[in-house]
Structures are given as C-alpha cells and as structure tokens.
Chains A and B, each alone.
Chain A
Amino acid sequence: MSEHTYGDRLAIREALQQFGRLNRPVAELADETDLFSVGFTSHATVNVMLAIEDALGIEFPDELLNRSTFVSIEALASAIEISRGQA
C-alpha cells in the first residue's frame, strides 16, 4: 500500500461520480465491483481517465489504456501506481 492510496481512491470515486454515467451511486460500490456491470461504457472511460489524470497530475501510459484498467476502482488504483512509477 502506498502513501497515495487513500487520495487516489477518492479521486477515482470523484471522477466516476462526475463522468462515469453509472446506473448506481458510486458510494454504493465496492473497490472490486465490476464497473462495466453497473453501466460503465468505453466512451465514458475516456472522460474518467482525463478526470483522474487531471486530478492527480499523472498520465496513463498507452499500454494501460485497455478495458482491464477500467474494470474496477481497485484496477484503476493500481494503474495509477504504475503510471506514477513511469513518470
């Protein structure tokens, strides 16, 4: 667990709340919930990605820009860790 974990998850939830177009409130979701099972679409992932990048001042590398990165809050959190490692 890194020092960023709490802030990262907050930023992810905030981005999902604002741009995720999910059919359930983000507060009800567990970190492991499959986001695509609650209405997440590949179009919506773009804005969620941009919002997370903007909030945390990072950029996801190309190799992480695939469906599995966006499948859950957990997956997004580890993608953020990887992105930081590469910066």
Chain B
Amino acid sequence: MSERFAARAAAVAAVAAKYADEVDSDARPPLEAVEALKQQRLLSVSVPTQYGGEGATMRELSDIATTIGAADANAGMVFAMHHSQALILWRHGSLAGVRTTMRKVLEEEWLLGSATTERGIGGDARRSNCALEYPAPGRVKVVKDAPVISYAEASDAILVTGRVNVDAPDSDQRMLICPKGDFHLEKTGTWQALGLRGTASDSFILTAETSEDMLLDDDYGTISAHTALPTAHLLWSSVWLGIASSAAEQARSTVRRQARAAIGFPPPGQLRLAELMVDLQSFADTVRHSAEHFDRVAGDPTALGSISFALSMNAVKVTSANAVVDLVLKALRIVGIAGYRTDTPQSLSRQVRDALGAPIQINNDRLLTNNAPLALMAKVDL
C-alpha cells in the first residue's frame, strides 16, 4: 500500500472492525467509522492540491478503500461512494455553490451521498423521470422518488440527478447538489438486505429546493462517463478486494493452525490456500492497474469519453464482482465449519453475504449488455 495514507486508513479500519458486526446485525450506517473518517480527514483526501486538499490519486483512494473494506465493507462502501461524488465537484463544477460545497468537504469533512436511481426507470441511472424546476430567479427545485439513497440520513449533502427541465427528454439530465437544510427526506422503505446491510440504502422521497449555483456545469451523461461511473467501479472494486483479502486472511490463519498440529505434513487446505493467493494477487493487480489507468487519463476528456475506456472500466467492475464471490467462497471451503458458523471468530458470514451483492448492485449483466454493442466497435486495450 502507498505509504502516504496508510496509518490514517489503518486507524479508521480499526474503528470500523470494532463495530462491523453490530452495524451488520442492526442494518445501520457505520457512524463510528464515518466519525473516524472525518477525524482522520479522509473524506477530504481527494480534494486537489490547488484547492488546498491533499490530492489523493485514484490509486491512493483504491488502497484506502481496500484497507477499510477489509475491516468493514459497509464503511468501505461509504468511503467509496463519498469520493465518487466528491470528485464530481471539482471535475465538473465551477459555480459558487459548488465551490462552497467543496470547501465544506475540505474544512468540515462533509459526507456526500447521491440519489441517481429513481422509481419507474428500471435501475438505469442515465434516465430520470423527475425534472428540475425553477420556482424563482436563482432557485431550483426537485422532487425525486428514490428507491435507494445510501446513508442518506448521515449525509451532509446529496447529489441528485433530474431532467434539466420539465420539457426535457428523460436522458437529458443535470446534477444538483442539495446541502443539508435544503432537502427533506420522507422515508418510504428500509434497506433489509442479505449483505452490505450497513450502507442503509433506504428508500426516500427527496424534496429539495436550493440555489441555482448548486448545479454542476456538465450534463450528467458526461459526469457519468468521465467520473461517476468509472470511479464508482474502481472504488467499489477496491472495497471488494478488501472483502476478499479479509476472507483469504482467515483462510491463511486456519491453514497455519492446521499446519502447526502436524508439522511436516501439510494439511490439504495448503494447496487450496496457495491457489487462493494466486487468485487474490491477480484480483489486486486488476484493480490497482485500472486505478492507475484512471489516474493516467483523469484529465483527458477525449480518453475518458472513448469507447475503450468505458469498456475497460466496465470490465474491472465485472471482473472484480465475480472475483470477490469466487474468492470468498473458496476461502469458506478452506476455513470450513468455523467459517460457516455465524458465532465464531473465524466466521465468514459477513464476507460471504457482503460479496454476494457485488454482481447484483449495478448488475454485471446490465454492464455486459451495455458493452455488447461497443464490443463490436473497439478492441480491448491491451
């Protein structure tokens, strides 16, 4: 791991690990870990140096996400989703309200959430039913029926998509920052899921009215392609790598214990462990290489808008989501009954359940469907 943020990430991970089981069983946000993220100033870590931040690269964010994700995937996901939104602020915004929000992230460690999916659009974040309305000069308003807003009630601001106006087609979207105080949440459902229970991805009707300078400059299609989607894929994948590594660690510890019991006679799990380590290494290489790919082209709109970039970012998500499920289940076989139980220190209950969400949340099949026509037009970037 890159050294610059290692100690701070480890400090957050220690807190996240302590509350991970409680967060999971109560399906509540990892508030202690969020507090630790703020204390360690890791919510502002991606703010560019020219604005007074530390300018963490995608590679560095990826390392931090993995460290925290290994301790508690929920806390890792909050870190991942927050930075996916935070990067949008300075990559796609310049108006006064957007700049103010960035300063709040920098100075007060604001936590950013997002409301992009909507009831009635079939999970496609690139379409909206709701529309931005302009009730008075300089004011903008939106009402969104959102099936999922992760950690909404812990967010200091929520980035919301909507059609640019009531007459616009559903794909002509803009993004609006709704700071706390300017939005109201009416809960319409609670998040009761198999895993990632602590992301608190409840359903809400969000009503917001705020100042017009809270709008991002670019249309959401551009924001999505250049920033929101690739950074979400990369950082989620980094968290999944953390889940896989913690399961692999449990497997390693099990085999080591077995090996101690009959030194010189390697237990059968030792070969499986060696195989698991190969898989984990290749998973890590994929994620880190892709994060570095993003860093190389981060400031190049042509590269970010290219078909091969979209394909490669979708590829890392699909690969990682499959890898984490595979790795966690292989680790479970090695750890055996102590991992299958839910009441042992070796339990892999959280890792298994958290991993199973990976191919489903932003469904792999949807991404492959998106890739399918593009695949006819571009070769894989080798």
Contacts and interface: CB of A to CB of B under 8 A. Distances in A.
Interface of A: 18-19, 46-47, 50-51, 53-54, 59
Contacts of B99: none
A54 B257 CA distance: 9
Interface string B260-281: 1101100000000000000000
Interface of B: 256, 259-261, 263-264
Contacts of B259: 46, 50
Contacts of B260: 50-51, 53-54
Contacts, number: 18
Contacts of A18: 263
Contacts of A53: 256, 260
A51 B263 CA distance: 7
A56 to B, nearest CB: 11
A54 B264 CA distance: 13
Nearest to A19: B263
Contacts of A50: 256, 259-260, 263
B66 to A, nearest CB: 16
Nearest to B264: A47
A53 B257 CA distance: 9
A53 B256 CA distance: 10
Nearest to A46: B259
Contacts of B263: 18-19, 47, 50-51, 54
Nearest to B258: A50
Nearest to A60: B256
A53 B260 CA distance: 8
Contacts of B261: 54
Nearest to A54: B260
10 contacts: A18-B263, A19-B264, A46-B259, A47-B263, A50-B256, A50-B260, A51-B260, A51-B263, A54-B260, A59-B256
A44 to B, nearest CB: 10
A50 B252 CA distance: 13
A19 B259 CA distance: 13
Contacts of B256: 50, 53, 59
Contacts of A54: 260-261, 263
B263 to A, nearest CB: 5
A77 to B, nearest CB: 19
A46 B260 CA distance: 10
